[in-house]
Structure 1
Amino acid sequence: MTTTPADLAACPTRGERADPLTILAAQARNRVPELIPVRHARMAATPFTFYRGAAAVMADDLSRTPDTGIITQLCGDAHLSNLGLFFSPERRMVFDLNDFDETHIGPFEWDVKRLAASFAIAGRDNGFDDTTNRKIAKTVAKAYRRTIRRSVSMTTLECWYAGIDVESMFADLGDRLDTSMTERTQKALRKARHRNSAQALAKLCEIDPDGNAHIRSEPPLLVPLTERFTDEDAAVVEERVRERVDSYRATLPLHVQTLLAQFSLVDIAFKVVGVGSVGTRAWIVLMMGRNLEDPLFLQVKEAQRSVLADHVPSSGFDNQGQRVVEGQRLLQAASDLFLGWSTGLDENGDRRDFYVRQLRDGKGSVVVEALGPDAMKLYARLCGMALGQAHARTSTRFDIARYLSETAGFADAMAEFSISYADLNDADHVQMTAAINRGELSVHDLAAEGKS
């Protein structure tokens, strides 16, 4: 039976769904306990930051709605802040999906719903009315549909190599960007182009009198290994991180292994990242080549089970780090040269899976709060196109395109769902802030701490 647009627009009511705070509490059980209050504080800031951290809540909600049954590789967390700028291995600045912690197979429209709803929620945060937000969410779906339908007229290799080159993108946009938006965009591009290991060294490290680099201490966001643990425990953890880096090397192509062999591990620190990822174990590793002018920063980030895993068929991967890497390589037009995975034991002897990538390599993202309605609509079109290109890299593009051609009203259904889900998300955010105010959830507000 074909899923109708009315089916796709369906959104569970509060009485039909699991308690969102219960889902988040279950997710927190496998995270670093002292960082959970940081996660609460970040999620509670606005409805949009709550949405960013509540991928598990939405996955559970989506599992309770009708779906098309067309299964493809999903990003799993395709909200608008998980797309952005970065360098390809050929040093071209590209725009694409850039977060794959939740990547998994599932119904194609779940990614579209996650992305479209993020625009409705961010639009409300920016003060847009829901007539505007509905149009912007619809723009996401229309751009996705147009990209997928175009992909079936392309060859397999054309789909595989298709990507959004930033310079070409701005040439296409032309005079649709006003002066202020153009200036902000160029500033973001300049900033992204300078985000690399050398810039990270200047920002994150101190140089001792002997000329050696050490990662600086900025607790609890950035804590060197020797400060986070006692001397004895630090030695054990350092050995295990080194083991993870060594096992990671074997997952790289031989030529990249040869390149990485020219760098030596110098220092290790624990780093707090993101909103949804707060509480997962993440290490940054400073590698050094010939001298201080030849650094390489790697991020070793824990990969837990995807939030989609309980609701869809198995991904087939025993190692969650490999699941992230393989999903990223499939969906991204250009992936990090140093992308790989590893596994190992933590300080308590429990198995942890990790994926590894460069800490910074031209990465940049849009400042959502600075977007007016017209700019948000342009960004929605760009994100919808990028998601469509990601899904078009799989053989499922033919099934998706057939469904979109035969089913009228897809974009309207995505827009309707987005507004309904924004209502749910608003209520969830209120529920979280109320629980914080009652003292049921602890918070650690790092921004307030920095001002005191």
Structure 2
Amino acid sequence: MARSAHAFVRGNTARFYEWLHDEDQPSIPHGPAIWICGDCHIANLGPVANDQGAVHIQIRDFDQSVIGNPAHDLIRLALSLATVARGSDLPGVTTVRMIEAMLAGYESAFPESDDDEPDIPPSIRLVMKRALRRNWKSLAQERINGVEPSFPVGKNFWTLTKRERSAIAQLMAQTEIVELATQLHHRDNEAHVSLLDAAYWRKGCSSLGKGRYAVLLDVDGGTSDGEDLCLIDIKEAVKSVAPHATKVRMPRDNAKRVVEAATHLSPSLGHRMRAATLLDSQVFVRELLPQDLTLDIDRMGRKQAMRVAMFLASVVGRAHARQMDASTRKAWRAELARNHTRTLDAPSWLWRSVTLLLAQHESEYLDHCRRYVAAEQR
């Protein structure tokens, strides 16, 4: 997290919600109780493939998902974008216009919502084109540093214990997991699925302290071109730190919560996920596809910033809108409009939230860097 202010923002979801509920924070609109991402920063959106091969820009991370206030997703995304803007040395004027573009993009998803994606900015279109060109070899080179059907033991992949390997073998033999591997449109639903290799997967900050495993499966023995190789991600699901709405029913099983949220927010990915139990831990399982990419935007130009902000906010808005009926969408848009004057003389609730959060995060980030340097010198 010391790498950049944006990396610090991404890695501090719990602190975000603590800061968000400080007494000094402005009041924010209370939207309908729907599934929200809970950790809606730039890197948690990107191209996602469905089981038929179609690719869409959608939310792609649901660890912190809850039934909650949709305004929280918008503030989290705005903070992420504003932090990137500062890291790109863009003037404050650009950040002002970017936040206004976000509100316009989000509101454009209401009161009506359909399946047609809004116009994709050139910078994100490039990521889409790259996603569509990718194949198994691309995925293997990126994730396991080679195309051999095995995990290289080292920094990122660790050897399993006998107990872990046995438990993973049993999990991969379960009917619903086998169906997960065969559901892609180019695979035979009746194909035999075999386990090739498995390893403990050391990933980024979102996985610290959680169980994470990588599994390679072979569908029907066709390993020569990689089309029938499956890279399976098994991740422990833990309690979300995002506040949830009162008097709502969510699955108590955290893995089922994650999968249900994904199904509502990003159907392309949700239908490719399963909830399970591994070694008494709640886990969710999904196949990683070559087309699944992160929008890792570290720098932006002025025009790009506003277009990206509007587009990503519209993606989030559509994920929210598809969960609401027409009357609820209309009411939520009216509430947003009531809290958003059309003149910059009266700052919006989103602008006030972001400016306060930026100042707090900047202070915390610098202190984090000081502690990081001190630890290196010991």
Q: Shorter-chain TM-score: which interval? A: 0.7 to 0.9
Q: Which runs of 5+ in 1 are unaligned?
A: 1-42, 152-158, 226-233, 346-350, 444-452
The equivalent residue for 2:276 is: 342
Structure 1 counterpart SS, 2:119? helix
Q: Which amino acid aligns with 2:158?
A: V
Matched, 1:223 2:158: yes
The 8 Å contact of residues 103 and 306 in structure 1, kept in 2 or not, is answered as yes
Matched, 1:392 2:342: no
Q: Which amino acid aligns with 2:361?
A: N
Partner of residue 163 from structure 2, selected from 216, 236, 244:
236
The equivalent residue for 2:128 is: 189
Structure 2 counterpart SS, 1:99? coil
244 and 431 in structure 1: CA distance in 2 versus 1, 3 angstrom threshold: farther
The equivalent residue for 1:262 is: 192
438 and 248 in structure 1: CA distance in 2 versus 1, 3 angstrom threshold: farther
Counting only pairs closer than 5 Å after superposition, residues 32-431 of structure 1 correspond to structure 2 as 43-64=1-22, 65=25, 66-70=27-31, 71-151=33-113, 159=114, 162-164=115-117, 169-170=119-120, 177=122, 185-186=125-126, 188-201=127-140, 204=144, 213-219=149-155, 221-225=156-160, 234-246=161-173, 249=176, 256=183, 259=189, 262-289=192-219, 290-292=221-223, 293=225, 294-309=228-243, 316-335=250-269, 337-345=271-279, 351-395=280-324, 396-409=328-341, 412-431=348-367
The 8 Å contact of residues 77 and 103 in structure 1, kept in 2 or not, is answered as yes
Q: Which runs of 5+ in 2 are unaligned?
A: none
247 and 140 in structure 1: CA distance in 2 versus 1, 3 angstrom threshold: farther
404 and 311 in structure 1: CA distance in 2 versus 1, 3 angstrom threshold: closer
CA shift, 1:138, in A, is: 2.2
77 and 315 in structure 1: CA distance in 2 versus 1, 3 angstrom threshold: farther
423 and 205 in structure 1: CA distance in 2 versus 1, 3 angstrom threshold: closer
364 and 314 in structure 1: CA distance in 2 versus 1, 3 angstrom threshold: same
Residues 218-246 of structure 1: per-residue CA shift (max 9 Å, x gap): 31x22343xxxxxxxx1111112233334
Structure 1 counterpart SS, 2:153? coil
The 8 Å contact of residues 10 and 41 in structure 2, kept in 1 or not, is answered as yes
CA distance in structure 2 between the aligned counterparts of 1:50 and 1:260, rounded to whole angstroms: 46
The equivalent residue for 1:19 is: none
CA shift, 1:331, in A, is: 0.9
Residues 286-318 of structure 1: per-residue CA shift (max 9 Å, x gap): 001223132111101111111115786665212
Normalising by structure 2, we get a TM-score of 0.84
Aligned residue pair count: 358
Structure 2 counterpart SS, 1:45? coil
Name which of structure 1's ranges 255-264 and 110-119 shifts more when overlaid on structure 2: 255-264
119 and 407 in structure 1: CA distance in 2 versus 1, 3 angstrom threshold: same
CA distance in structure 1 between the aligned counterparts of 2:90 and 2:222, rounded to whole angstroms: 51
Structure 2 counterpart SS, 1:368? coil
CA distance in structure 2 between the aligned counterparts of 1:236 and 1:291, rounded to whole angstroms: 29
When you count helix as a share of all residues, which structure comes out higher? 1
Identity of aligned residues (%): 19
